[in-house]
């Protein structure tokens, strides 16, 4: 079932009634409408289902005069795509079957809400409960803006452990290297890491000195995408993973076409001189 721009008119519980009337629903996509202070917008979303296996929620933008909330209770849910920046309250529970999650949300912290401050216990608890509820997940895709919110969160309280997470795909930039390592520390059994790397004008953090547990015991494959070898931060990332990953089997570098055209062969000769802690590690260059 795919629903888009749903307005409730006379019945604020219409969505809950629709879902309860679909006892074998397995795949559900809901795109909440843009709200321009319309009182008929769907404010309270409750998704309760014993059959649901895949759910994609999108609620990106609102010029809101109202309060929004979302509750997801689906014990058989295996895949969740969560793109909600507007809900003031987020409740996710009974996620024991969750295998994969794609998170692109600021948890109403940056836009549409105040910054995450030490005294804001309510927002801090919402993020903590969300992370705890999905902590059994095995495969995670996480956006840059979500990581930025978790950076502020991690300065207040520790990020929960993701002991089952074996595959992580994260969008990062040069200013987020320290946060990346903090998040990796919460993934002690990670085996596969994909980094969608973005070259930005933001100042680089001095964050590549700490080595998370997964690099010492479980990380077998690292893939860095959109890499420009002539760019200093990209080279530091390559050196860091080669130098500190004990059981690394593959380091895959997907280079920008422009970086190939503008660099001479000396860069690739230099790559072969980088220190490798794992002697069996194979460096694969794709462009």
Q: Are residues 138 and 11 in the same domain?
A: yes
When divided into structural domains, the chain yields a total of: 2
Q: Are residues 3 and 59 in the same domain?
A: yes
User: Which residues make Cβ contacts (< 8 Å) with residue 25, sequence separation at least 6?
Assistant: 1, 19, 49, 51, 52
Residue 275, pLDDT score: 85
Backbone dihedral angles phi then psi of residue 77, each to the nearest 5 degrees = -65, 130
Residue 153 falls within a domain, yes or no? no
- CB of 71 within 8 A of CB of 47? yes
In the chain, the largest separation of any two C-alpha atoms, in whole Å, equals 69
> pLDDT for 205-259, tens place per residue?
556 888 999 999 999 999 999 887 667 788 888 999 999 999 999 999 988 755 4
Q: Are residues 176 and 246 in the same domain?
A: yes
Q: Are residues 11 and 86 in the same domain?
A: yes
Q: Are residues 171 and 122 in the same domain?
A: no
Backbone dihedral angles phi then psi of residue 53, each to the nearest 5 degrees = -115, -25
Residue 154 falls within a domain, yes or no? no
What residues of the chain score a pLDDT lower than 50? 111-114, 259, 261-262, 264
Q: Which of 89, 82, 42, 90 is nearest to 62 (CA)?
A: 42
Give the tokens for residue 124.
């801090």
Residue 116, pLDDT score: 63
Residue 113, pLDDT score: 45
Residue 115, pLDDT score: 57
Residue 111, pLDDT score: 42
The pairing of beta strand 69-73 with beta strand 54-59:
unpaired
> pLDDT for 90-99, tens place per residue?
999 999 999 9
Residue 77 falls within a domain, yes or no? yes
**Domain end marker among 113, 148, 183:** 148
Q: Are residues 80 and 107 in the same domain?
A: yes
Q: Are residues 255 and 132 in the same domain?
A: no
Q: Are residues 140 and 10 in the same domain?
A: yes
Domain assignment of residue 100, given as a range: 1-148
Q: Are residues 168 and 142 in the same domain?
A: no
Q: Are residues 210 and 93 in the same domain?
A: no
Residue 168 falls within a domain, yes or no? yes
Backbone dihedral angles phi then psi of residue 4, each to the nearest 5 degrees = -140, 135
Residue 47, pLDDT score: 93
């Amino acid at each position: 079932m795919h629903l888009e721009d749903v307005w409730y008119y006379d019945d604020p519980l219409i969505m809950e009634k629709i879902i309860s009337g679909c006892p074998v629903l397995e795949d559900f996509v809901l795109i909440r409408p843009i709200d321009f202070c319309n009182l008929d917008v769907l404010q309270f979303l409750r998704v309760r289902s014993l059959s649901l296996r895949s759910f994609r929620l999108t609620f990106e933008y609102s010029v809101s005069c109202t309060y929004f909330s979302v509750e997801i209770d689906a014990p058989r849910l295996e895949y969740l795509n969560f793109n909600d920046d507007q809900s003031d309250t987020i409740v996710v529970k009974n996620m024991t079957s969750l295998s994969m999650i794609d998170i692109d949300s600021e948890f109403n912290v940056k836009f549409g809400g105040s910054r995450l401050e030490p005294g804001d216990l309510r927002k801090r608890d919402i993020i903590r409960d969300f992370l705890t509820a999905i902590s059994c997940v095995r495969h995670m895709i996480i956006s840059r803006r979500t990581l930025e919110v978790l950076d502020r969160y991690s300065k207040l309280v520790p990020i929960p452990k993701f002991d089952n997470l074996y595959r992580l795909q994260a969008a990062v930039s040069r200013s987020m290297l320290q946060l990346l390592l903090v998040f990796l520390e919460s993934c002690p059994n990670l085996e596969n890491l994909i980094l969608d790397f973005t070259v930005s004008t933001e100042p680089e953090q001095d964050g590549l000195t700490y080595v998370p547990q997964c690099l010492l015991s479980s990380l077998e494959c690292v893939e860095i995408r959109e890499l420009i070898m002539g760019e200093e931060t990209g080279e530091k990332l390559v050196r860091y993973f080669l130098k500190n990953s004990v059981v690394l089997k593959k380091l895959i570098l997907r280079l920008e076409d422009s970086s190939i055209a503008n660099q001479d062969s000396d860069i690739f000769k230099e790559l072969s001189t980088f220190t490798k802690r794992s002697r069996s590690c194979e460096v694969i260059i794709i462009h």
